């Protein structure tokens, strides 16, 4: 039997201001589809680590004209309260290739302009990093992009930025959420003012790709490097080829079957470059033409997948930590070679990203700052350090990286450019990019990471994820895979417990539903529910020293064995699938 409160909530959508099409769809759910009705109305969409994201459809827990309108009306109200002394508040809006993204973007533009806010609306789909760039380039107070990143095709989303080009962080995230919570659907002003909407495109494209290409360090080997690029039917087709060309790469092969933007993502099961299957067509093309590197991006072009030839010559997808390690090393090494390292530089990484990045930075005399998952926290560090320390780059394990501070979100365009430059540099030295990675392991430490990601959709899934996290906290083991647990960091309570010294210290992080276990051999296990998907993630990290490159394969097998032992232990301790 469906809960009465859910039916009552749904029946409110059978009257104005909801249009006839919406009313008809809701009535159908009430009459015949109790499970879908419950999922659509049992809660309200809220901002997570990546904004508001969900399945498209009618309901308070769905992405639709009204939930987006409510969010935008709340944002408009908050912007007016924060910038009430400004002559004209300005917002830039972009969107990706997904179904309904363009009409959703137009709806958002209409609501903002109806509230007297000037809107720069991109003429067509654009990469997320370009929207972040455009905010400061155009002197805007906020920015919005309609995107669901790498989620399945039935999803869409709404990501909000502040005037520094970064996603919302405290106090503005809570401020916007509270403002949205105070908006009734009848309060939404949908009748836009066309005089306050300006269509933008080519001029911003030119500025963005030029700024990205300017981050290139050197030209060695660029013309000899063979690149295969795929946009996976997404937005990077308007950015990556142009940036590579400006930076001097001329041997770029685009996977044409995936170059056409398409919200159905017809050639892949999932448009996620974290998954090897997503880059199969690109890798096949690379093998066909003997290319050196494959670059692929997710639909909104913030995540990057990189495949290079391993020691046997086989195209192998690097994981996010490996790509981030290579980028971090290259940025520091090039700054050092050009005499630009003063000891006042820093990198940033999330708490679930490889500690190898910190090791590399330390060895080059640079600082490392850690933050919660999500590039909004890296951007907050940049903002807090502005004028004091120079930001070089930052990354997270989930295939995101940011170079410099001209974009304040993860940026596959500039990261892809520098990955190609690393590959060109390696080739000019008679090496592969994979061999450079092994050199990093020898010089800075050998780290290996893995991830177990478990999808638990719906109301029942949400309860199961809560139960898993509760079990990790209430029944924390003293030993895992034969190794003692020496400390526990619970970011929910912001407490770190040292089990050896039997002491506790306060963590200087915002509260977050994350728990980390540290073992006596330096291994690390992290449990974290996703902020943007119905998933719980378990991250594993092990490490050792690598005396020389000849022992790489043997030591890799040893680390893989340790990872499997930890994964099996956590499955038996915390996971009930």
- Which residue range forms the structural domain that includes residue 49? 43-206
Q: Do the beta carbons of residue 136 and residue 164 sit within 8 Å?
A: yes
Measured between alpha carbons, how far is 295 from 234 in angstroms, rounded to an integer?
13
- Asked, for residue 22, whether it belongs to a domain, the answer is yes
Let me know whether 420 and 461 are in one domain. no
Neighbouring residues of 536: CB distance < 8 A, sequence distance ≥ 6? 453, 454, 456, 465, 468, 469, 527, 528, 529, 530
Q: What is the pLDDT of residues 24-43, one digit of tens each?
A: 999 999 988 788 899 999 88
**What token pair was written down for 312?**
């046997």
- Residues listed for the chain: 577
Let me know whether 74 and 85 are in one domain. yes
Choose the final residue of a domain: 391, 409, 444: 444
Measured between alpha carbons, how far is 204 from 138 in angstroms, rounded to an integer?
9
Q: Is the pTM of this model over 0.85?
A: yes
- Asked, for residue 215, whether it belongs to a domain, the answer is no
* List of the chain residues with pLDDT < 50: 1, 49, 577
Tell me which of 113, 132, 142, 149 is the catalytic residue.
149
Let me know whether 105 and 87 are in one domain. yes
431 burial class (0-12, 13-18, 19+ CB within 10 angstroms)?
middle
- Residue 349, strand partner residues: 370, 395
Let me know whether 472 and 406 are in one domain. no
State the DSSP code for 408: S
Choose the final residue of a domain: 444, 467, 490: 444
CATH assignment at residue 520:
3.30.310.50
| Pairing assessment for the beta strands 118-122 and 90-95 based on DSSP bridges | parallel
- Asked, for residue 459, whether it belongs to a domain, the answer is yes
- Which pLDDT score is estimated for 220? 85
Q: What is the pLDDT of residues 475-523, one digit of tens each?
A: 888 999 999 999 999 999 999 999 999 999 999 999 999 999 999 999 9
Q: Per 3-state DSSP, what percentage of the chain is helix, strand, and coil (rounded to 5)?
A: 40, 20, 35
In the annotation, is 149 catalytic?
yes
Q: Do the beta carbons of residue 412 and residue 420 sit within 8 Å?
A: no
- Asked, for residue 462, whether it belongs to a domain, the answer is yes
Let me know whether 18 and 94 are in one domain. no
- Asked, for residue 155, whether it belongs to a domain, the answer is yes
Domains in the chain: how many in total? 4
Q: Cα-flanking dihedrals φ and ψ of residue 154, to 5°?
A: -80, -5
Choose the final residue of a domain: 206, 238, 254: 206
- Which pLDDT score is estimated for 382? 97
Let me know whether 189 and 298 are in one domain. no
- Asked, for residue 170, whether it belongs to a domain, the answer is yes
Let me know whether 171 and 280 are in one domain. no
Let me know whether 494 and 423 are in one domain. no
Measured between alpha carbons, how far is 285 from 471 in angstroms, rounded to an integer?
46
Let me know whether 47 and 187 are in one domain. yes
| Pairing assessment for the beta strands 315-317 and 345-350 based on DSSP bridges | unpaired
Measured between alpha carbons, how far is 483 from 524 in angstroms, rounded to an integer?
11
CATH assignment at residue 397:
3.40.120.10
Q: What is the DSSP string of 448-503?
A: EEEEEEEE--HHHHHHHHHHHHHHHHHT--SEETTEEEEEEEETTTTEEEETTTTE
Measured between alpha carbons, how far is 350 from 85 in angstroms, rounded to an integer?
36
- Asked, for residue 100, whether it belongs to a domain, the answer is yes
Let me know whether 69 and 150 are in one domain. yes
């Amino acid at each position: 039997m469906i809960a009465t409160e859910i039916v009552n909530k749904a029946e409110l959508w059978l009257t104005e201001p909801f249009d006839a099409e919406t009313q008809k769809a809701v009535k159908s759910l009430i009459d015949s589809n109790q499970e879908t009705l419950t999922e659509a109305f049992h809660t309200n969409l809220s901002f997570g680590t990546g904004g508001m994201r969900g399945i498209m459809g009618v309901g308070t827990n769905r992405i639709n004209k009204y939930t987006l309108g409510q969010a935008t009306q709340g944002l408009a109200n908050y912007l007016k309260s924060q910038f009430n002394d400004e002559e004209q508040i300005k917002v830039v809006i972009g969107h990706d290739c997904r179904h309904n993204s363009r009409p959703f973007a137009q709806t958002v533009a209409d609501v903002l302009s109806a509230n007297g806010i000037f809107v720069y609306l991109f003429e067509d789909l654009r990469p997320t990093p370009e929207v972040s760039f455009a905010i400061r380039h155009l002197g805007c107070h906020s920015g919005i992009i309609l995107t669901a990143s790498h989620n399945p095709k039935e999803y869409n989303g709404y990501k909000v930025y502040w005037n520094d080009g970064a996603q919302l962080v405290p106090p503005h995230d809570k401020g916007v959420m509270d403002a949205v919570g105070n908006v009734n659907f009848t309060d939404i002003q949908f009748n836009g003012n066309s005089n306050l909407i300006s269509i933008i495109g080519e001029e911003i494209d030119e500025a963005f790709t030029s700024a990205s290409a300017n981050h290139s360090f050197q030209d060695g080997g660029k013309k000899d490097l063979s690149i295969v690029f795929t946009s996976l039917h997404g937005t990077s087709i308007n950015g990556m080829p142009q940036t590579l060309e400006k930076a001097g790469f001329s041997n770029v092969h685009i996977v044409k079957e995936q170059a056409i933007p398409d919200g159905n993502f017809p050639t892949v099961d999932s448009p996620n470059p974290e998954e090897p299957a997503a880059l199969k067509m690109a890798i096949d093309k690379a093998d066909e033409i003997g290319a050196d590197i494959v670059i692929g991006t997710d639909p909104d072009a913030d995540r990057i997948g990189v495949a290079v030839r391993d020691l046997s010559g086989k195209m192998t997808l690097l994981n996010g930590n490996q790509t981030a390690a290579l980028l971090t090393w290259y940025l520091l090494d090039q700054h050092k070679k050009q005499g630009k390292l003063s000891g006042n530089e820093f990198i940033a990484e999330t708490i679930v990203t490889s500690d190898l990045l910190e090791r590399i930075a330390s060895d080059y005399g640079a600082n490392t700052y850690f933050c919660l998952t999500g590039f909004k926290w890296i951007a907050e560090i940049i903002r807090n350090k502005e004028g004091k320390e120079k930001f070089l780059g930052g990354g997270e394990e989930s295939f995101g990286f940011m170079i410099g501070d001209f974009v304040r979100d993860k940026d596959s365009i500039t990261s892809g450019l520098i990955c190609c430059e690393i590959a060109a540099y390696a080739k000019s030295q008679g090496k592969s990019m994979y061999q450079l990675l092994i050199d990093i392991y020898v010089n800075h430490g050998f780290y290996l990471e893995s991830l177990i990601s478990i999808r638990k959709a719906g109301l029942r899934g949400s309860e199961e994820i809560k139960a898993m996290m509760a079990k990790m906290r209430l029944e924390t083991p003293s030993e895992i895979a034969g190794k003692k647990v020496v400390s526990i960091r619970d970011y929910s309570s912001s407490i770190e417990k040292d089990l050896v010294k039997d002491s506790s210290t306060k963590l200087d992080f915002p509260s977050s539903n994350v728990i980390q276990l540290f073992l006596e051999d330096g291994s690390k296990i992290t449990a974290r529910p996703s902020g943007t998907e119905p998933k719980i993630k378990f991250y594993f990290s092990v490490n050792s020293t690598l005396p020389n490159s000849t022992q790489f394969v043997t030591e890799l097998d040893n680390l893989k064995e340790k990872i499997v032992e930890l994964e099996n232990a956590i499955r038996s301790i915390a996971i009930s699938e």
